[in-house]
Amino acid sequence: MGGVNIPPVEAILDTAVVVALPMRQRFRGITVREALLFEGPRGWGEFGAFTEYDDAEAAWWLAAGIEAAHQGPPAALRDEVAINATVPAVAADEVAAILARHPGVTTAKVKVAEPGDTLDDEVARIEAVRAVVPTVRVDANGKWSVSQAITAIRALGELEYVEQPCASIEELAAVRAAVTTRIAADESIRRAEDPLRVVRAGAADVAVLKVAPLGGMRRVLALAEQIDLDIVISSALDTAVGISAGIATAAALPTAPPACGLGTGSLFEVDVAATPPSVGGVLATRTVVPDGRAPLAAQHRRDWWIYRVRRVHALLADGHPAARS
Ligand SMILES: O=C(O)CCC(=O)c1ccccc1C(=O)O
Ligand SMILES: [Mg+2]
């Protein structure tokens, strides 16, 4: 299913650039987003597995980058994709400036349940969002218990859906049975078999699929084909190179998805290239070539990424499932 042929590691390392993108707002505990970018015969690919991920996990991300650089995007069925603005767990008075980076956007995804966040903070943040955009979804990243989730959902008003309110599939199903708000699964879908478990458990209405952690554009499209849930394609805090793969995937789905979580480029102070901005909450498909504007990682961090690519590449070459079709 969408497995990629693995090129020699030198084909990756010969063009490797390691960037360190400063973020405007801390997100997922990250203030500087590092990634290794490389060029292949079909364009640029990104390897940006979060630094705490082990090599076996990171192999899926490298396979996704190799697919982009060596196979290129799947055939597009449309040339633009609706996106949500992503609102980190900020104070309510910071919300307007964040939304202003996506003029005309009509859907926002708001982070909730972060350490130190109270329900009052969340209600205020969401009210500030609702003053600007009509459709609001929230993402708890699995951090609520079932009872906290039910209490919060009742307090937060009309939501399009709640993404990953709790950590486990069983808890998602329990929350879903107790509320009328739709539930989305994100972290519960990191393996090919996960969407089917989510569906079987009645745990979600929406599947959030991310190209890099799931091993590439074609793998995501194959997963989407197997499940009868609404599909939202989201970023893994990708640079503009990874975002272009997310857009290409959303543009290749048989039906246009609801607003996708691909607006995270605006969380960076600088990205790896100038890219067309979102207009009216829509991003156009694009080819991204890093243009040298992004800050490069310090030498010791570059060395760390290159050693990581060597190890992870060796796993793929040794038959890691991300390398198989
Ligand atoms: O979905 C979005 O709006 C942006 C993507 C996003 O939130 C995200 C980005 C990196 C890591 C985790 C997540 C997440 O959905 O939890
Ligand atoms: Mg999420």
266 CB within 6 A, ligand 1: no
DSSP letter assigned to residue 188: T
84 CB within 6 A, ligand 1: yes
313 CB within 6 A, ligand 1: no
**Bridge partner residues of 261 (DSSP):** 234
The CA 166 to ligand 1 mean position distance, Å, reads 15
Burial (Cβ within 10 Å: 0-12, 13-18, ≥19) of residue 37: buried
User: Ligand 1: which of 28, 110, 144, 249 to mutate, most ligand atoms within 8 Å of CB?
Assistant: 28
Biggest CA pair distance of the chain:
54
Is residue 210 annotated as a catalytic residue, yes or no? Answer: yes
* Residue 163 assigned ligand-binding role: yes
- Please tell me which residue in 33, 111, 125, 176 is annotated as part of the active site: 111
* Residue 205 assigned ligand-binding role: no
Domain boundaries, the chain: 9-73+294-323, 80-284
Q: How far is CA 19 from the centre of its chain?
A: 18
Atom 12 (ligand 1): residue with closest C-alpha? 236
105 CB within 6 A, ligand 1: no
Atom of ligand 1 nearest to the CA of 232: 1
* Residue 139 assigned ligand-binding role: yes
The hierarchical CATH code for the domain 9-73+294-323 is 3.30.390.10
**Bridge partner residues of 279 (DSSP):** 282
CB 245 within 8 A of CB 73: yes
pLDDT of residue 4: 74
What is the rounded CA–CA span in Å between residue 195 and residue 153? 23
The CA 237 to ligand 1 mean position distance, Å, reads 7
* Cα dist from 199 to 149, 173, 174, whole Å: 20, 10, 13
181 CB within 6 A, ligand 1: no
* Cα dist from 73 to 110, 114, 210, 220, whole Å: 29, 35, 15, 12
Same fold, 9-73+294-323 and 80-284: no
Radius of gyration of the chain (CA): 19
Under DSSP, is residue 242 helix (H, G, I), strand (E, B) or coil? helix
CB-CB neighbours of 275 under 10 Å:
19
Atom 11 (ligand 1): residue with closest C-alpha? 236
Considering only CA atoms, which of 71, 108, 96 is closest in space to residue 264? 108
**Bridge partner residues of 87 (DSSP):** 110
102 CB within 6 A, ligand 1: no
Q: Which fold has domain 80-284?
A: TIM Barrel (3.20.20)
CB 81 within 8 A of CB 244: no
pLDDT of residue 191: 85
What is the rounded CA–CA span in Å between residue 155 and residue 136? 14
Q: What is the pLDDT of residues 149-179, one digit of tens each?
A: 999 999 999 999 999 999 999 999 999 999 9
Atom 10 (ligand 1): residue with closest C-alpha? 236
- Please tell me which residue in 210, 302, 313, 320 is annotated as part of the active site: 210
114 CB within 6 A, ligand 1: no
The CA 252 to ligand 1 mean position distance, Å, reads 21
Residue ranges in the chain modelled with pLDDT below 70:
1-3, 325
User: Ligand 1: which of 98, 105, 235 to mutate, most ligand atoms within 8 Å of CB?
Assistant: 235
